[in-house]
A and B are shown apart, each in its own frame.
Chain A
Amino acid sequence: MSTKLNILVPVKRVIDFAIKPRINKTGTGIDKTGVKFSINPFCDIAVEEAVRIKEAHKALVNKIHAVSIGPAKAQDILRSSLAKGVDSATLIDAKELDIEPLSVAKILKKVVEDKQSNLVILGKQAIDDDSNHTGQMLAGLLNWPQVTNAAKVTVNTSGDAVDSITVVREVDGGEETLEAKLPLIITTDLRLNEPRFASLPNIMKAKKKPLEKLALEKDFKDIDVSPRLNVLKVEEPTQRQAGVRVNSVDELIAKLKELKAL
């Protein structure tokens, strides 16, 4: 039996990376009204990588399916992923709930089983909570191998089948290379690729691609998504005060000596 890829790409809608988040008046969360939202940049890289794999190995990829868990508006990022080359998508409407990574991983496990995915490519972290948990948790729940912080992904073929996948990953002191058989979880790092922009004709075409809509409370009611962590407070970090301006290298060195930094 030949192995073809069924790729799943989970994506998250987050406050745009260029926007500085504002804390709400009660100090319990982030004010989300009137703020620009975008696809999490690492998720965009995951979409791009899946599409590149399909472009390079057309015969080996059955399907790229994207999924997002979030408010109804998260369908925007699914539509743009479809326009970039994803084949089909699922929106799991969670209304405005903030869902912790453990619950997200449980929901994704069910999606993996439903879609019979054998390769999940997802962002290493979302730039809102910065957790960096979901991929590893999903791998743990499925008992699949994981390669986090991918910098390069190569699909190794044998005849008309996928043999293995080689991934170069970023670690503290440089890089390491791992090789895995399917099924596999990959989380993406910044340098893996540069995501494309969707062209207008592709955006039009994407409107015809299938986008399934599910409701978290109805279609995943057996999964308990109640939070394990109570957020007691959110606050701004202690602000650094701007220091002094100096006008020359000599003044700079004198100031550093005064601060006992040298």
Chain B
Amino acid sequence: GSTLAFIEASNGQISSASLSALTAAKQLGNPIIALTFNEGVADSLNKIEGLSKIVTFSSPEFEKNAPEVISPILSSLIGDSKLDISHFIIGSNATGKNILPRVGALLDVQPISDVVAIESDKVFKKPIYAGNVIQTVETTDPKTLLSVRPSSFAPIDTTATANYEIEQQATPELNKLNIKFVSENLTSSKTPDLATSKIIVSGGRALKSKENFDNLIYPLAAKINAAVGATRAAVDAGFVENSLQIGQTGKIVSPELYFSLGISGAIQHLAGMKDSKVIVAINKDEESPIFNVADVGLVGDLFEIIPELTEKL
């Protein structure tokens, strides 16, 4: 069988989640068919080694990856005996989470989400209970549908020069339901992207106010070219917008270096960052659970330490 890999892209740029999904697809060992609904991405796919071909669909309807429209197309592709698809793989980001279960329902397959390790073509590891438990599951379904956690699979190398066959599929009759896209409000990228940044500076409730967050966290992040993250408590308190939340139900990150500033370390937050390579914790309360996972801990007053750190780095 082959692996069908879902490639999400905007402005010709493949998303980092899709680059991670391709790394996972390689581990499965099957021929990889890259599928995209976003036009103009062929050049980027030609920089990736080891694909067997590219399948594209084109229609303005696909721009927002609407699950109602895309899922039936995916399920008929995966079910198409000519293509002989044994595995479907997608990155576990907002798009993947929206689409994969719907495809599973249409194919009568129970997907496996948030895979963090591939043991064999049927056996996978996934976190449950906010990452407090790792479950190993074996699928018995005839097709295997997976989403993979981007922080667990490095993005695939994009320095190759390939020239893949592009199979432009005719747009099928679309499953149009009574829903329409109205608008989007995306966070202006003041700082590097959380998903790909090598350093993250993250703040918690102990910063006490939005002003403090802005005046302490952002300058430190700017100094070391880091992305800014936050706990749910900091988001709920209105210090930052919700797209910066790290944790069980927010972003899952694994940078080289993670600064945890004024964060106590609730399990829901740890679930989002404990795979970071080096964790630094600065907190006033020396009993905080964050110190149990930190490589380097400093107990003290954030309002003195952060400016000093910003100056000396």
Contacts and interface: CB of A to CB of B under 8 A. Distances in A.
B177 A133 contact: no
Interface string B106-132: 101111111000000001000111111
Contacts of B106: 140
Contacts of B268: 17
Interface string B227-268: 000001001100001110000110100001100000000011
Contact of B129 (A30, A180, A189): A30
Given A178-B179, A245-B298, A140 B112 contact: no
A51 B177 CA distance: 27
Interface of B: prevailing SS: mixed
Contact of B292 (A130, A235, A242): A242
Contact of A256 (B102, B249, B280): B280
B23 interface: no
Contacts, number: 245
B257 A240 contact: no
Interface residues of A, number: 81
Contacts of B278: 256, 259, 261
Contact of A30 (B95, B133, B251, B291): B133
Contacts of B94: 149, 170-172
Nearest to B309: A249
Interface stretch (A71-79, A89-97, A98-106, A201-209): A98-106
B175 A133 contact: no
Interface in B264-278: 267-268, 274, 277-278
A119 to B, nearest CB: 13
B131 A243 contact: no
Contacts of B67: 136, 139, 146
Contact of B182 (A179, A189, A248, A252): A179
B101 A228 contact: no
Contacts of A58: none
Interface in A162-182: 166, 170-181
A30 B132 CA distance: 11
Interface stretch (B138-146, B155-163, B166-174, B207-215): B138-146
B295 A244 contact: yes
Given A100-B110, A143-B177, A229-B110, A174 B243 contact: yes
Given A130-B130, A189-B249, A234-B134, A136 B98 contact: yes
Contacts of A166: 182
A146 B185 contact: no
A144 B19 CA distance: 31
Interface in A123-138: 124-125, 127-138
B82 interface: no
Contact of A20 (B127, B132, B139, B224): B132
B39 interface: no
B141 A228 contact: yes
Contact of B298 (A143, A170, A247): A247
Given A130-B128, A249-B308, A105 B137 contact: no
A77 to B, nearest CB: 18
Interface of A: 15, 17, 20-21, 23, 30, 100-102, 105, 124-125, 127-141, 143-149, 151, 166, 170-181, 184, 189-191, 227-237, 240, 242-253, 255-256, 259, 261-262
